[in-house]
Amino acid sequence: MGPILAGIVRIIAGNYERWLSERVPKLAEQVVLSVEERYRKSNLSFEERAQTKLEEAISALQQMAPGLGRDIAQRQVEAALSRIRATGMEQKAGGAK
């Protein structure tokens, strides 16, 4: 029974890891956009707003992907923000032509 159970656990863990690697970047982008929208008209200073948004995005991502470590969630949020900003820059450059 032990080897069978161990095999099942490995399969489930492997599927979860694959799911995380495929879905977490998309989830991070959704979280970043959602948090950005919520804080769009905030009266907080730039530094306070940035820190608050980062913490909220990390927390939301960890809720959406249980088991995701804080450091990985932070890297995913920062990467999503970079991708979103790059896309915005491309759209601005394309619209100016």
**For residue 18, what are the CA distances in angstroms to 23, 38, 87?**
8, 31, 26
Looking at residues 24-44, what average pLDDT do you find?
A: 91
Give tens-digit pLDDT for 36-91. 999 888 888 889 998 999 999 999 999 998 888 999 999 999 999 999 988 876 66
Taking each helix axis as running N to C, give the angle between helix 2-38 and helix 46-64, from 0 to 180 degrees, rounded to the nearest 10. 150
Number of H helices, E strands in the chain: 3, 0
Q: Identify the band that residue 97 occupies on the pLDDT scale cut at 50, 70 and 90.
A: very low
The amino acid at residue 53 is K
